Chains A and B, each alone.
Chain A
Amino acid sequence: MDKILRINMGAEGGPKVSAVPVGEYAGLGGRAMTSSIISKEVPPLCHPLGEDNKLVIAPGLLSGTNASQSGRISVGCKSPLTGGIKESNSGGQPSQMLARLGIAAIVLEGKPKDGNFYKIFINKDGVKITPDNGLCMLGNYDLVEKMKKEYGDKIACISIGPAGEMKMSAASIAFTDMEQRPTRHAGRGGSGAVMGSKGVKVIVVDDTGVTARVAKDPEALRKANKSFVDGLRKHPVTGEGLPTFGTNILANVINEAGGYPTHNFQWGRFIGTSKISGETQAETEKARGGNPTHGCHRGCVIQCSGIYTDKDGHFLTKQPEYETVWAHGANCGIDNLDAIAMLDRLDDDFGLDTIEMGATVAVAMEAGLAKFGDAEAAIRLVKEVGKGTDLGRILGNGAAVTGKVFGIERVPVVKGQAMPAYDPRAVQGIGVTYATSTMGADHTAGYAVATNILKVGGYVDPLKPEGQADLSRNLQIATAAVDSTGMCLFIAFAVLDQPDTFQALIDMLNAFYGLKLTADDVVALGKNVLKMERDFNTRAGFTKEQDRLPEYFKKEPLPPHNVTFQVKDEDLDKVYNW
């Protein structure tokens, strides 16, 4: 991956592309690449939908190789939702294809002067940018079908739906999966709106004629990959739980813990959880001819995705993830899997972040626009977003905007981004991550990490109050590092328990690039990424006051445990002390 495609959408005479060497960004991938470019090149005070913002799409360091789990892609920008730096990532096929084409990043810059929407076609022969307003307001599903007819069935698509075209802050960017469906999304933070502001409706990628990237030491890569895959397969989470039940394996347990946000974060338990659990979902899919064990990209051995069919056995949507089932389910009081699947399908088609939409619909329910539990009403509200009605435009800009418009206090957001499916009053350490992450309320920012990483730089006593800040910090560092490799973050579960699996990951990096990285180097990478992001946010005007949960989490006890958020502000302020 030796080139960056810089596409100036506002150039005189029309959009222009330059393929430039990676230069100062050499050796970076995924989140490290997107955050480096955004922090260096985007004025932090610019308008997120203006010409000075950039949209960076970057495969990971190991994407396009034969390394397993290496198909994640990162999207970076200044977020229209949070006003800070954003990296969101996605599965699907485009990462591997872009990497095989030698592309380390696509950078969309400027803003078209003519109001057109463009499609961009990338293959081994170059890049073609064509205006195509006939694609306007197409949902992602119809759009991809059109692109397949035009370019063949070997392509992958990176696209926005109507939500992105309308520049809504909850808009996602869709990435096609192995079946060429637009089911994988870089959901969080409104990157779809930025792509819309650049006038780009779809990027079509065709890597016909290119082969997998070749390692400096192919035999060492093969050996490290085997050890890595063996580690993933033997671990009970990556080898059994996730392929059997998908991420929604969490529903019953988080509910039992009393941390499953219900009816807009009013309670921590939902009475209908067993009807929408991963266990029930998997049985439903199997009974209907769907499939609860499926990979979102080639080379995935964890296979946590799935296929959800309707009662007649026809494809409806990909297996809804834990976050989606929670957001449109328990958080809205809905206990019907088919309704939740339909909402997932609508989100994917309109190009919307399912977490933000579920949180927004719940706020709307609290505002009286619908009753909690009314699935048909929820579907109607999301359809309003897709149509861009006045109400739809409010909802499509997320929970914070919706709460403000309708005068609701209980709006579960940090830095403007809606909280995911774990109530921070029940699991306070997750609250620390929600509050302090550079991304806004984000459940993936502080994931699991190998114990040897935790002990690098000194041992932390997790029983001390300040231990929670240290734990969160270490987890955020490790996540930033993993996000830069292009590896699926779910490898972290095996890596947490099996230091030799983490070593296999480092060995793969070393084998591919001919390096001698250690765990310390991986930590340093993660720290560097977080430093850049934190610095950008500071220059964008963020202070420690933004590293806080909404006040009501400290005051309103959460049933059934009746707990409030107890971590002190001064401890939150220690997370970035290193």
Chain B
Amino acid sequence: MKVSLTVEAGLVPTFLSLLQEGFRIQGNVGSSVRSFLCEQLGISPEYVEKRIQTIFLNGSAVDDVEKAVVSDGATLSLSAALPGLAGAVLRKGGYYAAMREEISCKGEASSASVKSGKVLMKLFNMPLQELGPVFLERGVWVRGERLGDILRAHADAFQAGCRSALIDGREITFKDLLNRDWQTEDVLLKVKTN
């Protein structure tokens, strides 16, 4: 199911909590983290190198974005530089990486073929703010139930600020959207601003 919303710009941050919990995107898997982020998702190599300072692949801290491989069903999390000793320790390729050897990503780039698959992405802090709206506009797979939670939690704001709502291309009132029983459906959510 596809849900397409056009909202006032001020409402976009309310969806960002979905992106920190995790959203699925369809893409070609079996390549390196760097290839996935830059070639698949279109994130600039400079942004990946300079801005995304902490990366987790399946919960393991990534040091080498050329070696770590994104496979089907992987979880890939992106963060900017972080404070504290923990932040320094978890940093991609950081001096203190040895202090978390046991949770470091040991992946090697393989010659396994690239094929279509789904990846669970999580965006945190600065990448959440900077990349989040772009992903929302392109479309992200999220649990319908969670979308429903967000809409209900900010019902008044959405009532005022939601310009249009479409489900599978058909217009739906905000009230019907709010009252929908999502059950366990995953939805492809697209959010753009007017």
Contact = CB atoms under 8 A, between A and B. Distances in A.
A244 B126 contact: yes
B119 interface: no
Contacts of A432: 99
6 contacts: A237-B83, A252-B77, A253-B77, A426-B100, A429-B96, A448-B85
Interface in A253-289: 253-254, 256-259, 274, 277-280, 283
B85 A244 contact: no
B6 interface: no
A130 B38 CA distance: 68
Contacts, number: 155
A279 B59 contact: no
A560 B98 CA distance: 19
B124 A253 contact: yes
Interface residues of B, number: 41
Contact of A561 (B80, B89, B96, B102): B102
B102 A252 contact: no
Nearest to B132: A279
Contact of A274 (B13, B17, B61, B83): B17
Nearest to A563: B102
A563 B103 contact: yes
A211 B61 CA distance: 49
B181 interface: no
Contact of B95 (A247, A250, A462): A462
Given A279-B17, A279-B125, A560-B59, A430 B87 contact: no
A558 B77 CA distance: 20
Interface string B49-64: 0010110100111000
A507 B89 CA distance: 28
Contacts of B84: 247, 250, 443, 447-448, 493
A320 interface: no
A448 B82 CA distance: 11
Contact of A447 (B21, B85, B124): B85
Contacts of B129: 244
B96 A462 contact: yes
Contacts of B98: 429, 462-463, 467-468, 471
Contact of B103 (A245, A250, A257, A280): A257
Interface in A433-450: 433, 443, 446-448
Nearest to B77: A256
Interface in B73-103: 77, 79-90, 95-103
Contacts of B89: 427, 429-430
The DSSP consensus for interface residues of chain B is helix
Contact of A241 (B80, B88, B101): B80
A446 B20 contact: no
Most buried by B among A249, A447, A490: A249
Interface string A391-432: 000000000000000000000000000000010011111101
Contacts of B87: 237, 250, 253, 448, 493
Contact of B82 (A241, A279, A451): A241
A446 B122 contact: no
Given A252-B20, A258-B59, A561-B103, 8 more contacts: A236-B80, A241-B83, A244-B126, A252-B122, A257-B61, A258-B103, A429-B99, A430-B99
Interface of A: 235-238, 240-242, 244-245, 247, 249-250, 252-254, 256-259, 274, 277-280, 283, 304, 422, 425-430, 432-433, 443, 446-448, 451, 454, 462-463, 467-468, 471, 475, 490, 493, 496, 560-561, 563, 566
A462 B85 contact: no
Closest 10 CB pairs of A and B: A429-B99, A462-B98, A252-B124, A274-B21, A563-B102, A427-B100, A236-B81, A448-B88, A256-B56, A256-B77
Given A274-B21, A454-B95, A468-B99, A430 B86 contact: yes
B85 A443 contact: yes
A426 B185 CA distance: 34
B49 to A, nearest CB: 13
Given A427-B99, A471-B98, A250 B83 contact: yes
A428 B102 contact: yes
Contacts of A468: 98-99
Nearest to A421: B86
Contact of B88 (A245, A277, A496, A566): A496
A241 B59 contact: no
